[in-house]
Amino acid sequence: MRSSLSTLTAVLVCGGWAFAHDDKPERFITVSGTATVYAKPDTARIFYGVKVTEPTADAVKEVLSKHSKAIDDSVKKLKIGTLSITTGPIGLKQASNQNVALGMVPGGAPAAANPGLGPFTGHTAQTATITNADPEKLRADIDTFLKSIIDAGANTNGAEPKEESINFFPGQGGGGGPKVVLARADESAARGEAFQAAVERAVKNAKAIAKGLGAIEVKVVSVTDEAEKPVAEALNIYGLESPSAARSPAGEIEVKVRVIVKCTF
């Protein structure tokens, strides 16, 4: 009976000791960390199309059909790595009277502000996917493909044309030209490396903050991956890509990771 009482007393004492420590408020630090890894690409997606402006819808369709056939025939003759192409629907719209009024007629004279609608603008959209495990050969394939489609009439990146403030002459198209985006079919290794580096940076920051607050040890409670989408390099080939293209080392893609790390101290 005495032995049982002693055991109970010990339990109560230990329980009281634990409760006293648990009563101490726990302090947390939440920090973020980012890291970027550059990897060699093995995939290229080329976005391209044709944009034309003609007096009638039938004329637009005829010109687009002619250019599209020329591009397809040119691509079929290429001998490059694995290639697949997807084609979107043809887009067609008629210019507003405002655009007609601001336009020009052959000879440089301002167009008359006639009521109603103006010429028709049509565009096509296609995406080519080229894969090659050798980065140098991939680059060569991209260069060959671009030259082929541009010579055949591709003049846009296939996106919906923006409203023009100045109307094109019939038969004339506009746009920024084909767009190239590099990527990797499997980026897990690069992403894993970036994730580890991002966590290490976050923990380092947490330790620095805790030290400033008088703490010695920091314990990681949780790590959340913000899942930032990797940024692929947009090639500036033939001067066809905008200045806002991602900046990464030549021939490489950027894999960026951001994590949120929660620590206690």
Confidence (pLDDT) at 229: 53
Task: For domain 43-183, give the fold.
Answer: Alpha-Beta Plaits (3.30.70)
| Extended beta strands in 50-166, E state | 51-54, 82-87, 91-94, 120-123, 126-131
CA distance 257 to 195: 6
Contact (Cβ atoms closer than 8 angstroms) between residue 233 and residue 39: no
Long-range contacts of residues 5-10, Cβ cutoff 8 Å, at least 24 apart: none
Confidence (pLDDT) at 174: 45
The string of pLDDT tens digits covering residues 67-110 is 999 999 999 999 887 999 999 998 988 877 544 433 434 444 44
Q: What angle do CA 201, 203, 205 make, to 5 degrees?
A: 70
Domain boundaries of the chain, sorted by first residue = 27-40+187-264, 43-183
Confidence (pLDDT) at 216: 84
Confidence (pLDDT) at 101: 36
Q: Is the sign of the CA dihedral 16, 19, 25, 28 positive or negative? A: positive
* Tens-binned pLDDT, residue by residue, of the chain (265 aa): 333 323 222 332 333 333 444 556 788 999 999 999 999 999 999 999 999 999 999 999 999 999 999 999 999 999 887 999 999 998 988 877 544 433 434 444 444 444 456 799 999 999 999 999 998 899 999 999 999 999 999 999 988 776 544 344 434 444 578 999 999 989 899 999 999 999 999 999 999 999 998 888 899 999 999 865 544 444 444 434 433 344 456 578 889 999 999 999 8
Confidence (pLDDT) at 228: 59
Confidence (pLDDT) at 56: 92
Architecture of the domain spanning 27-40+187-264: 2-Layer Sandwich (3.30)
- The DSSP string of 142-196 is HHHHHHHHHHTT--B-SSPPPPPSSPPPTT-------EEEEE-S--HHHHHHHHH
Among candidate residues 160, 195, 191, the one with its CA nearest the CA of residue 174: 160
pTM of this structure: 0.65
Q: How many CB atoms lie within 10 A of CB 248?
A: 18
Which tokens hold the place of 57?
């819808």
